[in-house]
Amino acid sequence: MSDLKTAYCKTPLGITKIIGDDNGVQSVSLLNEDISIDELQSTSSPLPIKNCIQQLHEYFEGTRKEFSVKLNPQGTEFQQKVWTALLDIPFGRTKSYLEQSKKLGDVKAIRAVASANGKNPVWILIPCHRVIGSDGSLTGYAGGIWRKKWLLEHESGSKQQTLF
């Protein structure tokens, strides 16, 4: 079993913490506190982490719409099934929790699907931000609704304009 490594990268939405090893990236999350990532950078990151950092930079620059990072998220069989289904939501598109439940074969599992989405350990790469309420509302997002809104606008290519 290989040792998990941690790396950090700066994004427009905050400092991102990436944990993984040669088997893949297990976790991509946002830190709540602002830290100096210069002193925390690891030069010995496994290839999946290096690829993740590069692809996140490309995503935020607007030059990447799909990720090809080797993933290894840890979760229950049901959570894994939900996270795999999230990967089928195309860049710039959204699905409702109800649509996701139907896709997984159980319309009554909507709360369980929402719960599994909330436990998604791989921010952005497994796009739980693309799941919205049936009425179009931006419900539930561990990183905060403002980040969900930012990500969806980033992917749609049409930012909401302000008058002032």
Which region among 47-51, 103-107, 123-127, 160-164 has the lowest average model confidence (pLDDT)?
160-164
Q: Are residues 99 and 151 in the same domain?
A: yes
Q: Are residues 38 and 94 in the same domain?
A: no
Domain extent, residue 150, equals 77-156
Residue 163 pLDDT: 46
133 in any annotated domain: yes
Q: Would residue 128 show up in a list of annotated catalytic residues for this protein?
A: yes
Q: How far is it, in rounded angstroms, from Cα 42 to Cα 115?
A: 33
Residue with the bigger pLDDT between 25 and 35: it is: 25
Span 126-133, average pLDDT = 95
Q: How many domains does the chain have?
A: 2
Residue 112 pLDDT: 93
Q: How far is it, in rounded angstroms, from Cα 86 to Cα 101?
A: 11
Of these residues, 15, 122, 126, 128, which one is catalytic?
128
Closest CA to 22 of 5, 9, 7, 8: 5
48 in any annotated domain: yes
Q: Are residues 152 and 82 in the same domain?
A: yes
